[in-house]
Structure 1
């Protein structure tokens, strides 16, 4: 199993998930153990809410755990997908305000999950550069290495939605 077909020079995550701020975790479906072996990151009951931007059968969460799924590519997003990111970030922010633990995950836990986590941090009052730096420090220096996603965050998702809506189909 390969974690990063398109980004072979990108180091795999060293843990299944990492806490970015209290109660907000960021992760993926795979991670690399200390021996360099690729492992499945399977969530069970560790979190109150799991937000998945990539889904794979057998990776949880447990049936009674709240689970929001909005699969999307690790590449340019449509206006509808950007709105989904906004919705997921708002749901994550509300869960955190209710003192619930949240895992936001994608394949490796770098880009798509980073987009939602950063937007959640914006809703909590963090500036874009500070949110991106915090995510990279807490998850991995490789987090948010997708330049398009960083552009979405620094431009603002509201503006990115408007600009994307203007593009011809």
Structure 2
């Protein structure tokens, strides 16, 4: 469930099988990781969208789409690609797959994509933003450009 303080879980389930999260300390190229994923490791997710370009690839037998972008102002061509990423993740989620959308802290970039997914499923922007903040953190979508993009999407 969402956190009201700064102690945020690495991943939060926003709605059934749709997760929002960050990248763990040892899951980045600049930190390395303790060991490489193995074929028989548990698979908590079927699909992962990685929005942090420093995130290490996910393990075996997990679909991954990687599209790193900055947590800042976005050019129109980047927004268009983000919407394609969200559409792909939405289609995977609607197939019943467990989908994780992750960025670095798991708040803004992942919140933008999760918001777009929820809105493709019929939720209003205000409902999507409120749900993300309730389930993930009140700090989610603190990037006002991302929040405004959701509010103006459609």
Is 41-50 or 129-138 further displaced after alignment?
41-50
The aligned length equals 138
1:53 aligned to 44, 51, 54, which one? 51
Quick one: structure 1 residues 13 and 95, their matched pair in 2 at CA, closer, same or farther if it must change by over 3 Å? farther
User: Which structure's relative contact order is higher, taking Cα pairs within 8 Å and 6+ residues apart?
Assistant: 2
CA contact (8 A) 2:101 2:110 kept: yes
Given the two structures, how large is their TM-score scaled by the length of structure 1?
Answer: 0.75
Bigger mean CA offset, 40-49 vs 105-114 = 40-49
Which whole-Å deviations, capped at 9, do the CAs of 1:117-149 have from their partners, x for residues lacking one? 000000000000000000000000000000111
CA distances 1:83-104 after superposition (whole Å, capped 9, x unpaired): 1111111111111111000000
Secondary structure at 2:12 match in 1: strand
> Offset at 1:60?
3.9
SS at structure 2 position matched to 1:26: strand
Q: Deviations over 1:51-72 (max 9, x none)?
A: 0110335x44103211001100
Whether 2:136 is the aligned partner of 1:142: answer no
Counterparts of 1:137 and 1:40, CA distance in 2: 27
Question: Does the 8 Å CA contact 1:13/1:140 hold for their aligned counterparts?
Answer: no
Distance 1:40 1:15 in 2: 15
Unaligned runs of 5+ in 2: 28-32
Q: TM-score, normalised by structure 2?
A: 0.82
- Residue of structure 1 in register with 2:66 after alignment: 69
CA RMSD for the aligned pairs? 2.0
| Runs of 5+ unmatched residues, structure 1 | 1-10, 31-38, 159-169
Aligned to 1:128: 125
Shift of 1:152: 0.8
- Aligned counterparts, 1:1-169, within 5 A: 12=6, 14-30=8-24, 39-40=25-26, 45-56=43-54, 59-156=56-153
CA contact 1:12–1:108 (8 Å) conserved in 2? no
3-state secondary structure, aligned to 1:15:
coil
